[in-house]
Every structure is written in C-alpha cells, then in structure tokens.
Amino acid sequence: MKRGKKSDVRFVALGGGQEVGASCYFLQINDAYILLDCGKSPTGSYFPDFRTILKPPFLECLNQINQIFISHSHFDHIGALRDLTAQCRNAGIYATPITKALLFHILWNLRDRHDVSENRQERDEILADTTVRSIIETGYCREIPLPGYTATFYEAGHIPGAAMVYFQTKDRRILYTGDFSCRASALTSPYILPDTITFDTVIICGLHAKHPHIRRGRDPQSQLAFIKQKLERGYSVHLETVQLTKGWEILHTMNEEMWNNHLPLLPVYIDHSLCLLAEEMERMHIPVRRSWNYVGPPPRGEQAVVIGRFAPSRFIPVKVDFSLHPTYRELADFIEKYNPKTVVLVHTGTADTQSKANCLEMELMTKPSWTGHFIYAETGEIYSL
Ligand SMILES: [Zn+2]
C-alpha cells in the first residue's frame, strides 16, 4: 500500500450471506486476498460460489488467494476446505489446534464411506490428511504478521476451538466473529475479547438478527430437567443429535450431572462417530468419556441413556437441539457495546413472521450513541467497506 493512501477493503459473501449453510467469505485488504471459512451445506449440495471473485477486479484463479482463516469446525464452515485446498495452493490456512484436530475428524472420519469404492476412500483420506497437515496452528491472542495487515484469533465460545479473527492495518480494524456465543456452555466460555479492543467494521454471524421474539425454551437446562424427570421414573432416554459437537456437549453434561449425583448414575451408550471424536480429543488431553460410557447399542432390558442418531424404540426420544448462537438481544447489546461504523450481517436466518428483516438496525437507530450503518450482505454482491 502506498504511503498516505487509505486501506482498500472489499467484501463478498460466496455463500452464507442472508442464509445459513456454506459460510465462505472473501475479504480483500489492500493487495491481500483472504477467505474467511470454507463451508458446505450439511447435505453437501450447497457449495460456495466463486464466480463473483474470479473476474476483474479480483482474481484470475483461486491460486491467488493468500490466506484462509477457519473460525471453527462446523461442517457449514469447513466442508469445502478439502476441495479448495487443491485449488488454493498458495494460501496459508490458519486455525486453532482444537479446530485442526476436529477438522480431520469431521472431513474424513465422519463421511459416509459405505457407498464409495476403496480407491475413492483412499483418495479422500489422503486429501483430508493433506488438507489438515497444511493448516498452521494458531493460538488465541497472538498477532500474526502478514503482508499488509495483521490477524489475531480470539476465543469465540460457540464450540471448543472456535475463534473470532481480528484484522488490523494502519488505518482499519475489522472483526470477523464467525459463529460465537455470549453465554458459557458445558464446553466453552462466552466469547473473550480484550477490554481495549475497538473495530470500525464487524462481519458478524447474525443467525437471530431477524428474530427479536425468539424464546430460549430449548436451552440445555430445560432439556436436562426433562431428562432427569424421565430417568428418575425409570425410563430409558435417547438423546438425539445430528451435530457431533452437541453430542459431545450433552455427553459432558450428562457425565457431570451423574458424577455430582444430580442424575441417577446409569450407563451411557454413545455411537461410533462420537466415540471417534472422543478419542481425537483425548489424544489432545481433553477428557470426554467416563467409566460408565460405552460404545454401541445398549443391551436389552437395561435402563440406560443413548446419545447419537439411533436407539431402540423403548427409549424416550429427546431432540438435543439447543442454540449455541447469540440471541437477538445479545446481538443488539454486542453491537451497541462496540459501536462499529459498519455492521456486515451474514449467516442470518429468515425473518420471523412478527418482525421486519431489519429490526436490529431499527433498534440500533433509536440509540443516541449509534452512528453506524448495516449491510445485509447478499451472496455474490460486492461491498466496499
Ligand atoms: Zn457453528
């Protein structure tokens, strides 16, 4: 960048703009071409669309991407990484050590491999392995010096290993939140930013930005009370979860509650996927399982808890589907607290029936200190920030 010239910052949502799935964002800071996350929809059908950035004034090919920052290891933020690594051969890929460990597990161990040939399996494993090996492990709060800017990871809460990414140039401060949480969960603290941090622009996960009336009925505490009641009456319970990290969270919670005598101590059966994840975390010295945890289906007639996708029909099903994202109120408070000039909302759910899509912006406009503006980033649109 020439001396005295203002930083040139441009942004394109390649997926996960005003929708959830395939979160992947292009950020140009001066001459640096950056990708924030590389997701795919959980079914694999929705892939980031690179057409907007593969033409002037941006790139000729994806090899020109300089850095990729991975915020956390949910599939809608990492699913496309394996395919992209081959195309972004010159990019440095940055993630926290826990995200890196979870990544291999999610990119490879969890893929349904029953219907693919052995050759294909081998190729997929090599690709997943190469992708994960190329990741540069990055701890929290350590400034990474890069040509034209610096980047720093901060704890985002949400799931273990999740990070916000903070970018600085000589005249700009930009925060990408990724998915984050404002409350502690069984496995994470709330997000942690330094007291002195400021930013002029935030690219923020706004899942509940259009849901001012959302209720928090399905939080872990209320589900736990329900599970406790059923177990104390002698029933067996099946804790259904499709998202693996939520399975891990509920397993941790059940183990803690049983250990502290808040729940009857019963055998807990987990499925094979959750077992593989537990092994991966235990290799990193993060304990997951206890002596009353088993792998596989429970024996007939025994009162037990099952965590995973399937359980015998005698088990009472409980959908474990609590939100790890900020509520509308928490989002509004976050934005008011940091008071950035520009709020780029991404990863938003559709507006609920009782509210306007821009209700968050309308609320901020009533605050005397608010002078900023909102961008509801549409996938494929170019924004100068
Ligand atoms: Zn997530």
Expressed in angstroms and rounded, the spacing between residue 248 Cα and the centre of ligand 1 is 14
- Better-predicted residue by pLDDT, 222 or 6: 6
- Chain-centre distance of CA 334, in angstroms? 18
pLDDT, greater one: 267 or 322: 267
Task: Give how many domains the chain has, as a whole number.
Answer: 2
pLDDT at position 132, please?
83
Q: Identify which has the larger pLDDT, 42 or 166.
A: 166
Average pLDDT over residues 104-118: 64
Q: What are phi and psi of 87, to 5 degrees?
A: -90, -25
Is a pLDDT exceeding 90 seen at residue 169? yes
Q: What is the reported pTM?
A: 0.89
Find the 264 Cα to ligand 1 centroid distance in Å: 31
Rounded to the nearest whole angstrom, what is the distance from the C-alpha of residue 11 to the centroid of ligand 1? 21
Q: For residues 38 and 7, what is the distance between their CA atoms, to the nearest angstrom?
A: 25
Distance from residue 2's CA to the centre of ligand 1 (Å): 38
- The rounded Å distance from CA 74 to ligand 1 centre is 5
One domain for residues 135 and 271: no
Q: What is the pLDDT of residue 353?
A: 74
Task: Quote the pLDDT of residue 6.
Answer: 85
Q: What is the CATH number of the domain that holds 306?
A: 3.40.50.10890
Q: How far is the CA of 221 from the centre of ligand 1 (A)?
A: 20
If asked whether residues 109 and 190 sit together in one domain, one would say: yes
Distance 73 CA to ligand 1 centre (A): 7
Q: How far is it, in rounded angstroms, from Cα 249 to Cα 187?
A: 6
Whether residue 303 sits in one domain with residue 184: no
At 222, give phi and psi (nearest 5°): -70, -35
CATH number, domain containing residue 331? 3.60.15.10
Residue 133's pLDDT is 85
Q: Which residues pair with 316 in a beta bridge?
A: 237
Residue 117: the pLDDT is 67
Domain match, 314 and 333 both: no
Two tokens, residue 122: 């081998």
Q: Is the pLDDT of residue 108 over 90?
A: no
Share of the chain above pLDDT 90, in %: 58
Residues 307 and 161 in one domain: no
270 CA → ligand 1 middle, Å? 22
Q: Is 376 or 119 the better-scoring residue by pLDDT? A: 376
Residues 6+ apart with CB under 8 A from 245: 73, 74, 102, 159, 160, 187, 277
- State in Å: Cα 56 to ligand 1 middle: 32
Most confident of 19-23, 139-143, 269-273, 316-320: 139-143
36 and 127 share a domain?
Answer: yes
Q: How sure is the predictor about 114, in pLDDT bands with cuts at 50, 70 and 90? A: low
Q: Both 378 and 312 in a single domain?
A: no
Q: Which of 286, 319, 352 is the last residue of a domain?
A: 319
Q: Is the pLDDT of residue 341 over 80?
A: yes
Kindly report the average pLDDT of the chain as a whole number.
89
Do residue 337 and residue 261 come from a single domain?
A: no
pLDDT tens digits, one per residue of 216-265: 555 667 778 889 999 999 999 999 887 778 888 889 989 999 999 999 99
Whether the predicted pLDDT of 104 surpasses 60 = yes
Residue 287 falls within a domain, yes or no? Answer: yes
Given a cut of 70, whether residue 203 has pLDDT beyond it is yes
CA of 162 to the centre of ligand 1 (A): 8
| Of the residues 275, 290, 319, the one at which a domain ends | 319
Ligand 1 center–CA 10 separation, angstroms: 24
Output the CA 158–ligand 1 centroid distance in Å: 7
What's the whole-number mean pLDDT along residues 7-21?
A: 92
Residue 164 has pLDDT above 90, yes or no: yes
Give the highest mean pLDDT range of 2-16, 100-114, 159-173: 159-173
How far is ligand 1, taken at its centre, from the CA of residue 214, in Å?
A: 18
Structural domain includes residue 156 = yes
- Going by the DSSP 8-state scheme, the letter that residue 191 receives in this structure is P
The alpha carbon of residue 162 and the mean position of all alpha carbons in its chain are separated, in whole angstroms, by: 7
pLDDT recorded at residue 161: 94
Query: What was the pLDDT predicted at 243?
Result: 74
Distance 64 CA to ligand 1 centre (A): 27
* C-alpha 313 to ligand 1 mean position (Å): 31
Q: Are 239 and 305 in contact (CB under 8 A)?
A: yes
**Which of 278, 294, 319 finishes a domain?**
319
| Centroid of ligand 1 to alpha carbon of 32 (angstroms) | 26
Q: Are residues 75 and 128 in the same domain?
A: yes
Whether residue 340 has a cis bond before it, omega within 30° of 0: no
Give the Å distance between the CA of 368 and the centre of ligand 1: 33
Conformation bin of residue 262: beta by default, left when phi > 0, alpha when psi is -120 to 50: alpha
What pLDDT, on a 0 to 100 scale, did the predictor assign at position 4? 63
For residue 325, report the distance from its CA to the centre of ligand 1, in Å.
8
Same domain, 205 and 225: no
Same domain, 312 and 269: yes
Report CA Rg, the chain.
Answer: 22
Distance 301 CA to ligand 1 centre (A): 37
Report how far ligand 1's centroid is from the alpha carbon of 266 (Å).
30
pLDDT at 304: 96
C-alpha closest to that of 77 among 102, 114, 50: 102
The residue segments making up the domain with residue 204 are 9-213+324-384
Assign 270 a pLDDT band (cuts: 50, 70, 90).
very high
Q: Is residue 4 domain-resident?
A: no
Span 162-176, average pLDDT: 97
User: How many alpha carbons lie under 13 Å from residue 85 in its C-beta half-sphere?
Assistant: 21
Is there a single domain that holds both residue 230 and residue 266? yes
C-alpha of residue 320 to centroid of ligand 1, in Å: 15
pLDDT score of 58: 94
User: How many angstroms separate the alpha carbon of residue 179 from the centre of ligand 1?
Assistant: 5
How far, in Å, from the CA of 303 to the mean position of ligand 1?
A: 33
**From edge to edge, which strands make up the β-sheet containing 149-155?**
143-146, 149-155, 163-168, 173-176, 201-205, 342-346, 373-376
Q: Is residue 1 part of a domain?
A: no
Quote the Cα angle for 215-216-222, to 5°.
135
Give the pLDDT score at 276.
87
Report if residue 292 sits inside a domain. yes
CA 177 to centroid of ligand 1, rounded, Å: 11
Residue 3 lies in a domain: no
The pLDDT score that the predictor gives to residue 110 is: 56
Is it the case that residue 283 has pLDDT exceeding 60?
yes
pLDDT exceeds 70 at position 111: no
Instruction: Specify the residue for token string 């994202």.
Output: 325
